[in-house]
Amino acid sequence: MQKKILLLLTTLVVAFVFCGAASAATVKTNHINTSKISNVGTAMYDQRDPAIDGTRIVWEQRSSSGYNNVYYKNLATGHSGRVLPAATDQYHADISGTRIVWTQMTAKGAVIYYKNLATGYSGRLFTTSMGKQTHASIDGTRVVWIQDTNSQDYVIYYKNFATGYVGKVKSSSYRQFNPEISGTRVVWRQYELNGHHVMYVKNMATGAYGRLLTSTQSQGVAAIDGTRVIWTQYDSYGHESIYYKNLATGSYYRVIQTSDYQNIYSPAISGTRIVWMQEDSFGHQSIYYKNLATGTYFRILPSTQNQGFPRISGTRIVWQKQDSGSNYSIYILNLATGQSGRLTP
């Protein structure tokens, strides 16, 4: 690290800005500072697939041993490090408060692990003789994941740490994928015999269950925050759209539709703010943002490098951005301050 006073002052200012409150009322979109926070980006620090909750961020990062491990950083305190060091691959982490879940490779295949940063407790989420476990999503004390039942069927399972209950979200003869949870509500994608992927939603508190939106079009990946849900949907002409539904009112509408053969991936929602990855017809990937309440819409930090897998919490957005070569780094943007930069591990 250089010892110049100017660089030290700049670093302190950037760190102060990133700890700003996520609840600021004004969204600034015209004052983006693209300076990087650190120079992390070598092969041993390839960073991907972030998740965020408030000031806490998790992501997978390649360690010097060659394994991908889950890392954590608290923007408010500056504390960071590996969540649970292991000589094996860890990936697809999610976070809620001080609780983190992720997929970890073992001798028996992929399983879900859990750690509570407040207590230090860690271990397997659910020990079973069934097959692999992947794609965990957590909110508070509730977790959902994909469970292989050993018959090549994929079923969404649910666990409540507060009660100890574990079970299927909804029994089905069809394969289920991509679960997401917010409060007591779970959304997932289900592959049905007609070849369509259909989005379903269930309220674990009431048992209410059904299709998110009846359509002849195939539905892709969903995200949920409270009673608000967004998902991708494809028509027969090669157009892909993002749809929004308010479960409290039943109202829904199309948020955005792409032109021919542009793909949408990884939608995420926090309140009325949504982000997604969009791939153009040339294969270039960018991150987009829209505020459903104000209509504000723009591409985040336009770049010639590919950017993907965005997540949002309040006014903070995190995503992975390609460096030179095949490595990626985690970037963060605070919509309230307009400040952005590369995340220090």
At 113, phi and psi to the nearest 5?
A: -110, 160
Tokens of 90: 């860890």
Number of domains the chain contains: 1
Query: CB of 166 within 8 A of CB of 131?
Result: no
In a domain, 328, yes or no: no
Range of the domain at 82: 48-311
Q: Of how many residues is the chain composed?
A: 345
Sign of CA dihedral 93, 309, 262, 256: positive
User: Domain with 118 in it: what CATH number?
Assistant: 2.120.10.30
> Which pLDDT does position 152 carry in this prediction?
66
Bridge partners (DSSP) of residue 103 are 91, 112
In a domain, 118, yes or no: yes
Instruction: Indicate if the pLDDT at residue 171 is higher than 60.
Output: yes
When pLDDT is averaged across residues 156-178 and rounded to a whole number, the result is 96
Report DSSP state, residue 174.
S
In a domain, 38, yes or no: no
Residue with tokens 């829904």: 252
In a domain, 278, yes or no: yes
Kindly indicate the confidence band of residue 262, based on its pLDDT and cuts at 50, 70 and 90.
confident
Kindly indicate the confidence band of residue 344, based on its pLDDT and cuts at 50, 70 and 90.
confident
DSSP string, 230-258: EEEEE-TTS-EEEEEEETTT--EEEEEE-
Render pLDDT for 218-244 as a digit per residue (tens, 0 to 9): 999 999 999 999 999 998 777 899 999
Question: pTM for this structure?
Answer: 0.86
Please name the helix (run of DSSP H) or strand (run of DSSP E) that holds residue 15, with its range, or none: helix 5-18
> Which pLDDT does position 306 carry in this prediction?
96
In a domain, 97, yes or no: yes
Instruction: Indicate if the pLDDT at residue 32 is higher than 80.
Output: no
What percent of the chain shows pLDDT beyond 90?
Answer: 74
In a domain, 233, yes or no: yes
Sign of CA dihedral 217, 218, 221, 222: positive
In a domain, 1, yes or no: no
When pLDDT is averaged across residues 65-76 and rounded to a whole number, the result is 95
**3-class DSSP state of 6:** helix
Residue with more model confidence, 332 or 263: 332
**Quick count: other Cβ atoms within 10 Å of Cβ 339?**
22
- Kindly provide the b/e burial profile for residues 84-94, where b requires at least 16 CB atoms within 10 angstroms of the residue's own CB: bebeebbbbbb
In a domain, 339, yes or no: no
